[in-house]
Structure 1
Amino acid sequence: MNPSAPKNFRPLLIALTGGIASGKSAVAEMFAQLGAPVLDTDQIARDVVEPGTPTLARLVAEFGSEILDASGRLDRARMRTRVFADPAQRKRLEAITHPAIREELAARAQRAQGPYQIHVIPLLIESGRADLYDRVLLVDTSEEAQLKRLLARDGSSQEQARQILAAQASREDRLDAADDVIVNTGTLQDLHRFVQTLHRNYTMLSERINAQNL
């Protein structure tokens, strides 16, 4: 938290979400360039399973050492393949990783400075955590655009890409939960204009809320 802020200051918490390959990373990077603290749960998920962490030790105890690669790191692709087809194993994985991710997210949020924070949470709707945030910002695009980006970015087959999309919340559910929507169907310049407008709006909204709490 900003040490120069009033004692009862509370940053506005924004959950940034969207389907896979919708453009969340580009939007998050633009907010970061404007000086907003951006806390990415995907990055945190990688950090909490680094070699030597308690979370990785628990995963090895639960699933066996075959989930590690030759360097002793979690083989994320192997783990993903293993749990994707088995809901019971996926729940076991999430029971270990999700609390660790939430704890680390809370710790980083406490240290962050600024009138608002962006928390990048791809599975926000699926996890039922949208109500914990002041605003939900959705990066929205068509399923056809998602498929095209997935095929180009990850080398997925059509079948794999469609399976990934089917496993996520529907576009309609994400739109229902959103307070703000960035429609990512234009250019990067269009995207940047959206983000600049939201940056101003979130800053003003935070100032207004905190002025009421003085």
Structure 2
Amino acid sequence: MYTVFLAGGIASGKSTVARELERLGAWRVDLDQISRAVLEPGSACLAEVSAAFGDDLVDARTGALDRALLARRAFSDAASTALLEAIELPYIKGALVRTLAGECCALSKPAVCVVEVPLLDRMEPLFDLADEILVVTCPVEVRRERASGRGMDAADFDRRRASQPTDDYLRAHADRVLENAGDEKDLMTAVRSWWNTHGWS
């Protein structure tokens, strides 16, 4: 199975591309969901995180993580962020490996798996799992306008964009870039062209 890491900034069109690839026959995996799953109540990852950032992160009754409190502590400075990533990444990688080799994949035998990667720069230790990194790019002003059309104010868009890898970073680490400066029809044409180039049609 050919594994593709799909990345792109906020409002770039990454989710649109992922849905189209799924429609074409790819098996779609959301790495953000895996990242959340490794911190489920009772998990080994959660135990390590709470030991590092405070036992009060975990509700004593339900065992659930207070994600907002963890975010405030873990993203307060670069050292704390690096510590959280050092704890989480081995668990995320292990879970992704198990997902790629899991029963669903074994039964359906898809030719390609597309893994949606929310923050590519934080996933470099997982790059060895990908056969290709596919990036969707779009001019910032177009992305801001699209986000506004979905109800997001400009300040919120700018805050989120600032926490994501730059387009220069994404391009530097991409095996293929899909430009999304036009309309959705143009993007779908580019997606299908990329798909057909691999012979999956």
Q: What range describes the TM-score normalised by the shorter chain of this pair? A: 0.7 to 0.9
Number of residue pairs matched?
194
What are the superposed Cα offsets for residues 59-98 of structure 1, whole Å, 9 maximum, x if unpaired? 2222224434685433333322332231111112112211
Residue 30 of structure 1 aligns with which residue?
20
Counterpart of 1:186 in 2: which secondary structure? coil
| Mapped partners of 2:66, 2:142: distance in 1 | 29
1:181 aligns with 2:171: no
- Contact 1:130/1:177 (<8 A) preserved: no
- Contact 2:45/2:88 (<8 A) preserved: yes
Residue 82 of structure 1 aligns with which residue?
73
Q: How does 1:6-155 map to 2 (within 5 A)?
A: 11-68=1-58, 72-111=63-102, 112=105, 113-129=109-125, 132=128, 133-149=130-146, 155=152
Q: How does 1:185-200 map to 2 (within 5 A)?
A: 185-200=181-196
1:202 aligns with 2:198: yes
- Contact 2:50/2:57 (<8 A) preserved: yes
TM (norm. structure 1) is 0.75
Counterpart of 1:168 in 2: which secondary structure? coil
| Mapped partners of 2:150, 2:44: distance in 1 | 32
Counterpart of 1:128 in 2: which secondary structure? helix
Aligned-pair distance for 1:53? 1.9
Counterpart of 2:113 in 1: which secondary structure? strand
TM (norm. structure 2) is 0.79
- Contact 2:18/2:114 (<8 A) preserved: yes
| Mapped partners of 1:154, 1:55: distance in 2 | 35
- For 1:168, the aligned partner's letter is Q
User: Structure 1 regions of 5+ residues with no counterpart?
Assistant: 1-10, 206-214
